[in-house]
Chain A
Amino acid sequence: MPLIELIEVGKSYLIDGVKKLIIDGVNLSIARGSIVAIIGPSGSGKSTLLNIIGGLDSTFDGEAVVENVKLKDLSDVELSRFRNEKIGFIFQHFNLLDHLNCRENVILPSYFSRLNPKEIEKRVNYLFDKVQLTHKMRQYPPTLSGGEKQRVAIARALFMNPSVLLCDEPTGDLDDVTASTILDLFLSIRKDMNVTFVIVTHEERITKIADEIYMIKERRLVRI
């Protein structure tokens, strides 16, 4: 049973009254614990695909099933809960909230859940240790380097113990050395937490650690 399954997924946007097809007839099956890389030119629909898998976009054609749940059947509240519990998002520009310190950023997902304070404390300590930023827990994001910011974002994405990390150009804003440490971190996370990775990227290094590589070509998803 695959963790993620897309069946004949299509997405179009209405631009100036004209329907513009972005992706079409996408079929994809991802096993638990694997690392999948998605590549493609700018504007080809990579982020669009991640948004569909992550339950941020529910107005698409076809069927998206994650952990046996048909995403299209879910209400706003159910979909929000799905994102909260099953999905971790990693962005190119980190998307940390600058007016919250690192610790507060990391526990942000707990605001939308029912975790008790003790459990929150346990997870904070574990995750900051994992991303090696325990000493910067009380600092605010603007005082961190790019790599540190992305590590805080990774800790936040992992906070609710998700099954999937959806990463949109996770190393796009980082230099080579820093990018490598992030990739090492990904591998260690997969090993310790059995998390599945879907990574949108241009980077060759990421495609090297991926189990499968797909490319969006003329609106379709092609395995390479």
Chain B
Amino acid sequence: MKGISALAIKNLVRNKGALFLSSVGIIFGIASFVFFVSLGNGIKSVVFGKILAQLPVNIIEVTPKSSTIGIFSFGGISASHIEDSTVDTISSIKGVKAVYKEVVLDIPIQAKGEFYSRRIVTDLAATGIDPEIVRDDIKKGYSFEYQEDGPIPVIVSKHLLELYNSNIAQAMKLPRLTQDAIIGFKFKLIVGRSFLSGVKDSSKIREYECQLVGFSDKAILLGITIPIEYVRRFKNDIEGIDEIKRYKKVYVIAENSQIVPKITAEISSMGLEIDKTRKTIGGVISIATLILGMLSILIVALSAINISNTFALLVFERRREIGVLRALGGTKGDIRYMIFLEASIAGIINGLIGILLGFLFIKLTDFFARNNIPDFPYKPDTFFEPNILIFLVAITFSVFFCTLGALLPSIKASKIDPARALTM
């Protein structure tokens, strides 16, 4: 066996030219595999280690699963709730400091107000939210708490203002607005009536004064968000129900960021959806890495055809030599083993060259980025995070496809009839 191995290496050295040419595809495939997977790895660590770490990482957004299926949701709206009992269970998870709730106001409401001397009446959607979770978004000097008297504090989405400025203002020839300009804006809220569902019991219609006190990412996009206590009050007024039992969403506050993964794991095992943004970003990077990685492997796999052709040609050219080896005592197995070994060694060498080349690309890209791309927030020293596992996988793929390519040629070689090869 040792002798055959030595022979395989000598054969490789002799055929290095032809083999190298046919290996170019594999080498580049491996190089791009190393490049892209390291890139995905690096970007993930920048995004998670630097960018997402800046976010309040101890807040976990929890929604019911069916609501995330979006347009493919079949369960109907009623299915997408988090029950009170579920909230209790979440609260009892170790490391959970607080659970803040968000609820849909499922009572018809309308807003009525004067806006640039136009009287406007419109149906509205509304949610109630725990004031605690949006405290940072309330304008200084205003309060976002439940109170028996005085105007109801309202927050709206930052994006709503954006939407108004970019579309409505232009269409209706109204001036653009800034956040500061409309903070404190007051309007009337009519509870128990809407154009869409009409009036059920006119004796129960109430009218309240509302005041805009802030903008928040946690407010619903098309509508208003109010402290959750008001929702309870409206339901009591209109439906005589003094309880809220189902929530649209809850915000779970962890005691610290380290414990977040454990909590998220436990919550997802309850069949709930967590932190869409975080998961989406991670998912997008993973999928992009996967696709580019697979593409690289595809290059390697297709290159195996090259290798196969080359080995087939070499075997044909070498049939006399193979006949000699058979005459000297080589078995069919010995010949197969020899060709296979040649392919495996070629695979390792191709893999190593590919890794080296990939590494070179990485260094060049980093060098270019350092010197030519202007600084941006979170700009890392390197965009790549290669590791030993990537290298091992790369070598494995290279060896796998090289030997796969040599499979048929090696079988062909072992079947060469030595009597014929030697008398020709």
Contacts and interface: CB of A to CB of B under 8 A. Distances in A.
A80 B419 contact: no
Given A51-B423, A56-B418, A99-B10, A83 B3 contact: no
A84 B4 CA distance: 14
B272 to A, nearest CB: 64
Contacts of B14: 99
A76 interface: yes
A83 B419 contact: no
Contact of B321 (A80, A91, A97, A104): A97
B171 interface: no
B325 A108 contact: yes
7 contacts: A80-B330, A80-B331, A89-B327, A95-B422, A108-B7, A111-B334, A112-B328
A56 B330 contact: no
B327 A83 contact: yes
Contact of A100 (B10, B334, B418, B419): B10
Contact of A77 (B7, B320, B331): B331
B17 to A, nearest CB: 13
B421 to A, nearest CB: 9
Interface residues of A, number: 30
Which of B11, B329, B334, B418: most chain A CB closer than 10 A? B329
Given A56-B422, A77-B333, 6 more contacts: A57-B419, A80-B331, A80-B332, A83-B328, A99-B14, A109-B328
A180 interface: no
A85 B329 contact: yes
Contacts of B324: 95, 97
Interface string B74-104: 0000000000000000000000000000000
A111 B422 contact: no
A47 B423 contact: yes
Interface in A43-75: 47-48, 51, 54, 56-57
Best-buried of A48, A83, A85, A110 by chain B (most CB within 10 Å) = A83
B154 to A, nearest CB: 86
A77 B328 CA distance: 12
Contacts of B332: 76, 80
A111 B4 contact: yes
A76 B419 contact: no
Contacts of B319: none
A12 B384 CA distance: 67
Interface of B: 2-4, 6-7, 10-11, 13-14, 320-321, 324-334, 418-419, 422-423
A160 interface: yes
Given A91-B422, A95-B324, A111-B3, A160 B10 contact: no
Interface of A: 47-48, 51, 54, 56-57, 76-77, 80-81, 83-85, 87, 89, 91, 95, 97, 99-100, 104, 107-113, 156, 160
Which 7 A/B pairs are nearest by Cβ-Cβ distance?
A: A84-B329, A111-B3, A112-B329, A99-B14, A51-B419, A80-B331, A57-B419
B422 to A, nearest CB: 7
A81 B418 contact: no
A124 to B, nearest CB: 13
B341 to A, nearest CB: 12
Given A51-B423, A99-B11, A160 B327 contact: no
Contact of A160 (B4, B11, B329, B418): B329
Nearest to B2: A111
Contacts of B3: 107-108, 110-112
Most B CB within 10 A of own CB, among A95, A113, A160: A95
Contact of A84 (B6, B328, B418, B423): B328
Contacts of A99: 10-11, 13-14
B352 to A, nearest CB: 23
A97 B14 CA distance: 11
Contacts of A83: 326-329
Most B-side CB within 10 Å, residue of A80, A81, A97: A80
A35 B423 CA distance: 22
Given A95-B320, A99-B10, A80 B423 contact: no
Given A47-B423, A95-B320, A111-B4, A156 B328 contact: yes
Contacts of B334: 80, 111-112
A95 to B, nearest CB: 5
A112 B331 contact: yes
A193 to B, nearest CB: 18
A102 B422 CA distance: 20
B313 to A, nearest CB: 17
A80 B327 CA distance: 8
Contacts of B2: 111
A160 B320 CA distance: 21
